[in-house]
Every structure is written in structure tokens, then in C-alpha cells.
């Protein structure tokens, strides 16, 4: 838990070559995995609170317009050039600014967890600040142009989150497995 009163977590799906994206999209179509993402990033333990999702501008653009902003979450987009993305979206110039805004009034009493959801440069900056990293390991190689950096030292794989099924899953002929790493 950070000093701001919320925990910071990253959530990401990557293929066996550490790829996380291709041409601004996910290289795979796994509906159940997307449902897992939605469940984890919306579930709160304290009534009246919400989770926040922090993403880079390219990740924001990769979400189909009809699903933006992501519902039931406080959406924060990092961009140094775009200043406004409409109602219900907070735009910040940096990750530090975003974490600061979420830790200040009026939001500090509303936020339970902050989920970093991409892209690659946001993960690279945020991972050392995370309390946990929720990783979907897609057990197949895909052609990708965006990759997940190595996890920082100090993270250990656990299987203690009751919201995660740790067995190998299969969908559309693709196997994948959920993993959780905590400090």
C-alpha cells in the first residue's frame, strides 16, 4: 500500500516472447481473459470506493471508442500533448502526477486500488512502484512490436489471490495462465 492510501498494481497479458501488442492492438482475442481483466480492475472490497486505471495515450486509443472510458473505474490517461479526452477521463502529463492526483482530495477517499494497464513505457516506469503484478502468460508466440519489460527484482510469484484461477486456461485453441507476483 502506498503512502497515498491505495495499492498500486499492474495488470498485463504477454505472449511467450514477452510481446504485449502489435500495431496498437492485442495480438490475440481472448474474451474470458478480457473478462478477467475487467473483474480484477473493477472489484473493490470497500463499499463506495472505485479502482483507478492508469494508461498511456496509445493504450487509450487502442480501446474501442464504445468502451471508453472503461466503466466502473476512474480512467487516467498519460499524455504530454493531449489535454482533454472528454468527461470522466483525467489526463495527466506523467505517472507521478497521476498518482499524486489520485492521492489528493477529492479523489483520495474514492480510490481503493490503482491499476496500471499499459503500455510498455508506462509499465517500465510503474513496475518498481507496484505492490503486485497480475500477469496473463499466453502460452504461444505472437508477432508483436510492443514488449513487457522484465519484472524488477524483489517480486515473487504467489497464488494467494482468491479472485484468480491459477490453472492453465484455454480459449479459441490458445492456452494461457494467470500469475500474480508480489513484493
Query: Which top CATH class is 7-182?
Result: alpha beta
Burial 45-63 (b: 16+ CB within 10 A, else e): eeeeebbbbbbbbbbbebe
* Residue 2 pLDDT > 70: no
Q: How large is the average pLDDT for residues 62-84?
A: 95
Please report, for residues 46, 48, 97, 140, 173, the alpha-carbon distance to residue 51 in angstroms, rounded to integers and kept in the order given: 10, 10, 17, 31, 32
Break the chain into its structural domains and give their ranges.
7-182
- The predicted model gives 96-113 an average pLDDT of 93
pLDDT in tens, 41-53: 999 999 999 999 9
pTM: 0.95
The candidate with the shortest Cα–Cα distance to 52, out of 120, 110, 122, is: 110
| Lowest model confidence (mean pLDDT) among 3-12, 17-26, 72-81 | 3-12
Give the model confidence (pLDDT) of 127-137 as tens digits. 999 999 999 99
Average confidence (pLDDT) over 7-11:
98
Annotated catalytic residues are 26, 33
84: helix, coil or strand? coil
Amino acid at each position: 500500500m502506498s503512502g497515498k492510501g491505495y495499492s498500486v498494481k499492474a495488470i498485463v497479458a504477454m505472449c511467450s516472447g514477452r510481446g504485449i501488442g502489435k500495431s496498437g492492438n492485442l495480438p490475440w482475442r481472448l474474451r474470458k481473459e478480457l473478462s478477467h481483466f475487467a473483474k480484477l480492475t473493477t472489484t473493490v472490497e470497500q463499499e463506495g470506493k472505485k479502482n483507478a486505471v492508469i494508461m498511456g495515450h496509445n493504450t487509450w486509443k487502442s480501446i474501442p471508442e464504445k468502451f471508453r472510458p472503461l466503466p466502473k473505474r476512474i480512467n487516467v490517461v498519460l499524455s504530454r500533448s493531449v489535454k482533454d479526452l472528454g468527461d470522466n477521463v483525467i489526463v495527466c502529463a506523467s505517472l507521478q502526477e497521476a498518482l499524486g492526483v489520485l492521492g489528493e482530495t477529492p479523489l483520495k477517499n474514492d480510490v481503493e486500488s490503482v491499476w496500471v494497464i499499459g503500455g510498455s513505457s508506462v509499465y517500465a516506469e510503474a513496475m518498481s512502484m507496484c505492490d503486485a503484478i497480475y500477469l496473463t502468460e499466453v502460452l504461444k508466440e505472437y508477432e508483436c512490436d510492443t514488449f513487457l519489460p522484465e519484472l524488477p527484482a524483489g517480486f515473487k510469484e504467489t497464488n494467494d489471490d482468491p479472485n484468480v484461477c491459477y490453472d492453465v486456461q484455454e480459449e479459441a485453441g490458445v492456452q494461457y495462465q494467470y500469475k500474480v507476483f508480489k513484493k
